[in-house]
Amino acid sequence: MTINIRPLLRAAEHDQAVELQKSYWGEDDGNQVPRHMLHSISRYGGHILGAFDKDRLVGLVIGFIGADIDVDAPDARPAMANLLIMSKRMVVLPAYRGRNIGFRLKLAQRDLAIKQAIRLVTWTVDPLLAPNAHLNIRKLGGVIQRYEVNYFGLEPSQSLRSDRLVVEWWVTQRRVKERARGRGSAVTLQQYFDVNTPIVNRADETREWLRPRGMTDVPNSTFALVEIPGDFGELEAADRALADEWRYHIRDVFRQILAAGYIVTDFVSGAFETRRRSFYLLSRHFDQRERRN
């Protein structure tokens, strides 16, 4: 199978992009980036990159130029000093997942950022989706230092599922360059255990689904592990109440540990106790200056 990646520039291609979004976000028009917006994004510095199997669109990523500023702040810097690419969404058809297509789309997006002399690409992710964390942190080299409660500003009845982690992808940083070359992190879960890395929220695995336990005190260590279910989508479909319990739990954990100065720098999965388990790895002494090189 040969997958080709190229920009989507024509109206017919943008129609395909709208249809592809529906494979993940459903038929509600309010959940789609519409054709007229895709046209404007592609014309004015943004991009819609498509992955094609022959003539079939099987994946895409959308990005546009923005700035991380508070225009009302008295010391706000000019927008040009804070330029970034906001990666709005990425989707790959279910039958094509697990074939490195998402990774290739992001690398193509990185190439565009470098061409435009923009060092930061950012996007938001559901904190409980292990496959996404594996791609964003482990494979691409993104880091996380912000947790946003109700990121999309939804009504209270829907807001719990609107929490997001904010991924920062510093595209010229050494760790990102290494991952772009296929030299990702090789550190295993066991190796983190070997240096006494604490789990701050070790789950209870005595039942079919992992259940959250109360968080221990924030550790005074170089590294810390935050556990999430490896199969949260299946858990949520089977037990919505337990899924919501996890959402409240992970909100509390991340807000505390990020406030203590930790930054997400890796994501690891491996055998632990009686099953495969998944963890965010956080580093406390991560070099902030290096991150921007």
Q: Which residues contact 59 (CB under 8 A, 6 or more apart)?
A: 3, 20, 50, 51, 90, 91, 92, 93, 96, 101, 102, 105
Nearest-10 Cα torsion for 122, 128, 132, 135: 80
- For a pLDDT cut of 90, what percent of the chain falls above it? 81
Model pLDDT, residue 182? 87
What is the residue-averaged pLDDT of the chain? 92
Three-class DSSP category at 81: helix
- By the 10 Å C-beta count (0-12 exposed, 13-18 middle, 19+ buried), 196 is classed as exposed
Model pLDDT, residue 285? 65
Helix and strand counts by DSSP (H, E) for the chain = 9, 10
Mean pLDDT of 26-39: 90
- For a pLDDT cut of 70, what percent of the chain falls above it? 97
- By the 10 Å C-beta count (0-12 exposed, 13-18 middle, 19+ buried), 167 is classed as buried
Q: Which has the closest alpha carbon to 35: 60, 16, 14, 49? A: 14
The two tokens of residue 214 are 């109360």
Q: How far apart are CA 215 and CA 212, in angstroms?
A: 9
| pLDDT band at 131; cut points 50, 70, 90 | very high
Total length of the chain: 293
The two tokens of residue 120 are 């930061």
pTM: 0.92
| DSSP, res 144 | E
Model pLDDT, residue 68? 84
| pLDDT band at 178; cut points 50, 70, 90 | very high
Model pLDDT, residue 291? 43
Model pLDDT, residue 175? 94
Say yes or no to pLDDT of 43 above 80.
yes
The two tokens of residue 97 are 């997942």
Mean pLDDT of 124-128: 97
Say yes or no to pLDDT of 18 above 50.
yes
